[in-house]
Amino acid sequence: MKRLRLSYNYHDAQLRRAEFGDRQVTLEVDLAMGAGTRHLFFGGVRNLDDVRTLLGAGYGQATVPVDGEIVGIGRTDHRKIMIDLAMVSSGASVELLIDCDHYAET
């Protein structure tokens, strides 16, 4: 896995919410040690149904709360991004794979 070039360190950040649109996903993340809230946007998502299922979103649900801690973020190839999550409520480790055309941080 290759390092993904990001402006912030997302290790130990809390994933709070996921929003879904037409082939897009926006993740709301609280950075560690009170460093603020950031949004990770993924556009042109090819595996949107898989992402929705993994994050617990029902059919047609535009926004879903997520209680997960980001362990790491990386790139598996030129268009696939993997986010390693530790789900707080269940203690499960989840690998969220997002197959997308582009991403951005805000």
- Which residues constitute the domain of residue 21? 2-105
Q: What angle do CA 45, 48, 51 make, to 5 degrees?
A: 115
Query: Please, where are the H alpha helices in the chain?
Result: 48-54
Mean of pLDDT values over 77-106: 92
Q: Three-state DSSP class for 71?
A: strand
Give 41-55 as a DSSP string.
EEES-S-HHHHHHHT
Total count of domains within the chain: 1
Q: Which of 24-28, 59-63, 87-91 has the highest mean pLDDT?
A: 24-28
Q: Which helix (H) or strand (E) holds 83?
A: strand 80-87
Distance of CA 74 to the CA centre of its chain: 11
* Residue 51: Cβ within 10 Å count: 22
Mean of pLDDT values over 91-100: 93
Distance CA 37, CA 21 (A): 20
pLDDT for residue 57 is more than 90: no
Query: pTM for the complete prediction?
Result: 0.92
